[in-house]
Structure 1
Amino acid sequence: MIVVFGSINIDLVTQVERLPGAGETVLGPDYAAHPGGKGANQALAARRAGAAVALIGATGRDGFGETALLLLTADGVDLSHVARLDAPTGAAFIAIDRQGANQIIVAAGANAKAEPHALRRMSLSSDDILLLQREVPEEACLEAARLMKQAGGRVILNLAPAGPPSPALLALIDILIVNEHEALVLAQSLGWPEREPDAITQRLDAERGLIGIATLGAAGVVGWQSGVRRRLEAPQVTVVDTVAAGDSFTGAFAAALAAGYGLSGALQRGLAAGSLACTRAGAQPSIPRAAEIAALVGQSFL
């Protein structure tokens, strides 16, 4: 099973001609409200890729709370450990330009009070995977990681949004997933001179004993494990927007590991899922299903 401890948001999305600069207002024609949040997105991505998934997190008791859980409920994610709190449901404010690039502001709301205590009540084992991001408090992520490691399971951290992870959390991680910007922030926080994601993930592997993975957008993905480099090119797709592409990669990657794939096979499936998410608008509505992922893997990597 995959246990995701992370954020649950409502995404308010608008299309703009171009993204605004500092102090600038740019008008959009309308907006849409979609379920989102990195924890919820990755839980849905792993579930749609075929894994059994439980989500631990928090929403408010407001009108957005149920909306934020609609697609997770429909796809069969276990939501019995999601708390309903007297706080606003987390929200993301997303602008997307004509090329599919985006700017995102996230208001934490109930996510700031999310707790991982439900892990203590779950029957965890060495077959389980904990998936973490950085939209809930790091101390809570640290507790969740300790609980999973005590059970013998694996811990994956997606270092998103970008920020320096604590040494204590890094010490509990088995796999670290970053994009290009997050890789640079990580290197700077560790005092490393490397600036290229390839070199940074190689050093994570060599010095920290972590599987280091860097997603490279249209250029694909690179991963390092036990001194071995995996480098895959991204499938060619028509980009509508890039919202949830990283979450789709991470969830599908974790699902492939849970299904018994090795690193290369998991990277293929994560890359296919992330690429497919770029072909549709929105966060959770864009997340692909297992059959689509398998078909694109078959076309692109075999």
Structure 2
Amino acid sequence: MRITVVGSINLDFVASAPKLPDDGETVTGATLARHPGGKGANMALAAQRLGAEVCMIGRVGRDAMAEEAMALLLADDVDVGGVIGDADAATGVALIAVDPSGENQIVVAAGANHQVFPEQLPARIEGPLVLQLELPIETVEAAVGRATDFVCVNLAPAQPVSDQLLRRADLIVVNETEAAFYGDLIHHGGGRVVVTKGSAGATMYQRGVEMAWATPPKVTAIDATGAGDCFVGAITVALLEGMEPQEALTFACAAGAIAATRAGAQPAMPTRDEVDAILEG
């Protein structure tokens, strides 16, 4: 299968700290690492490592950070022919604090990601399409309108979207916070809706009726950054391969769980063999 991902590409600066700061608090003793990230790029890499052929559409700056941000997409043979280098905007950056349990706080400077406008998109987007909301919303809406096949939308970060988008999506993925933001709106379309709940697993609905649920294997989480993006890539691959809802949820929960056991977003994305192994074990 060939999946198109329209989305963000960032360089993540990750501070692993003894605890996450409270309001106005300074926490010392952290260690700093840099990893490729961005919700769109994370999902693209996850799907590629799990067996899909992926084309990425996005934007980076023409700066020193762009090469780092794109490194793993290139190393894993994601097609980045749809990624433009912008001379007038910086590569997107995410500032991430992570505590020893894997919980995180994230601040994003979107940079070139907010310069991905509808004009950059093809007139028709053939094949399955995966989107999130780290680009201008008009670009997301335009991409959905030009899609000819399966559409998966991760409604994150939560923000108002059109009823047309919600009705067109074949698969909507949200976490519990995002589900609360959208309320019953996400169930008005005919597609499937998955609500993720971290270590408690995920539930799939159709028209508000529960179809299936699954829990992840027990793991020791060290960094949840990117685990949700991994889940989105995995559930998309699983459903497109024809897995039934229960099997697809179980597969995606396992992939997300593995991602949470490793530092960073993209470096944590598992291979298909790794997911199959943890499910068989």
Alignment TM class, shorter chain as reference: over 0.9
AA paired with 2:12?
A: D
CA–CA separation in structure 2 for the residues paired with 1:121 and 1:28:
50
Q: Secondary structure at the match of 2:168?
A: coil
Is residue 14–residue 28 contact of structure 1 (8 Å, CA) maintained in 2? no
CA–CA separation in structure 2 for the residues paired with 1:6 and 1:289:
21
Is residue 116–residue 144 contact of structure 1 (8 Å, CA) maintained in 2? yes
Task: Kindly state the Cα deviation for residue 297 of structure 1 after the two structures are TM-superposed.
Answer: 2.2
CA–CA separation in structure 2 for the residues paired with 1:278 and 1:130:
25
CA–CA separation in structure 2 for the residues paired with 1:91 and 1:70:
15
For these two proteins, the number of residue pairs brought into alignment is 278
Is residue 2–residue 254 contact of structure 1 (8 Å, CA) maintained in 2? no
Task: Within 5 Å, give how 1:254-273 maps onto structure 2.
Answer: 254-273=236-255
CA RMSD of aligned residues (A): 1.7
Q: CA offsets, 1:156-205, max 9 Å, x none? A: 11111122322232232111101111111111xxxx5xxxxxxxxxx844
AA paired with 1:176?
A: I
Task: Within 5 Å, give how 1:82-97 maps onto structure 2.
Answer: 82-86=83-87, 87-97=89-99
Question: Which is worse superposed, 52-61 or 168-177?
Answer: 168-177
Task: Within 5 Å, give how 1:1-302 maps onto structure 2.
Answer: 1-86=2-87, 87-117=89-119, 119-120=121-122, 124=126, 128-148=127-147, 151=148, 153-187=149-183, 204-205=186-187, 207-225=188-206, 227-299=209-281
In structure 2, the residue matched to 1:195 is none
AA paired with 1:109?
A: G
TM-score of the two chains, using structure 1 as the length reference: 0.87
CA–CA separation in structure 1 for the residues paired with 2:186 and 2:33:
39
AA paired with 1:154?
A: F
Task: Kindly state the Cα deviation for residue 121 of structure 1 after the two structures are TM-superposed.
Answer: 6.2
Q: Secondary structure at the match of 1:2?
A: strand
CA–CA separation in structure 1 for the residues paired with 2:13 and 2:125:
36
Q: Secondary structure at the match of 1:31?
A: strand
Q: What are structure 1's unaligned runs of at least 5 residues? A: 193-202
Q: What are structure 2's unaligned runs of at least 5 residues? A: none
CA 1:298/1:253 → structure 2, altered by over 3 Å: closer, same or farther? same
Q: Secondary structure at the match of 1:163?
A: coil
CA 1:283/1:212 → structure 2, altered by over 3 Å: closer, same or farther? same
AA paired with 1:174?
A: D
CA 1:82/1:28 → structure 2, altered by over 3 Å: closer, same or farther? farther
Q: Secondary structure at the match of 1:241?
A: coil
CA–CA separation in structure 1 for the residues paired with 2:186 and 2:44:
25
CA–CA separation in structure 1 for the residues paired with 2:186 and 2:13:
36
Q: CA offsets, 1:21-59, max 9 Å, x none? A: 222222243311100000000000000000010000000
AA paired with 1:40?
A: A
TM-score of the two chains, using structure 2 as the length reference: 0.94
Identity %: 44
Q: Secondary structure at the match of 2:224?
A: coil
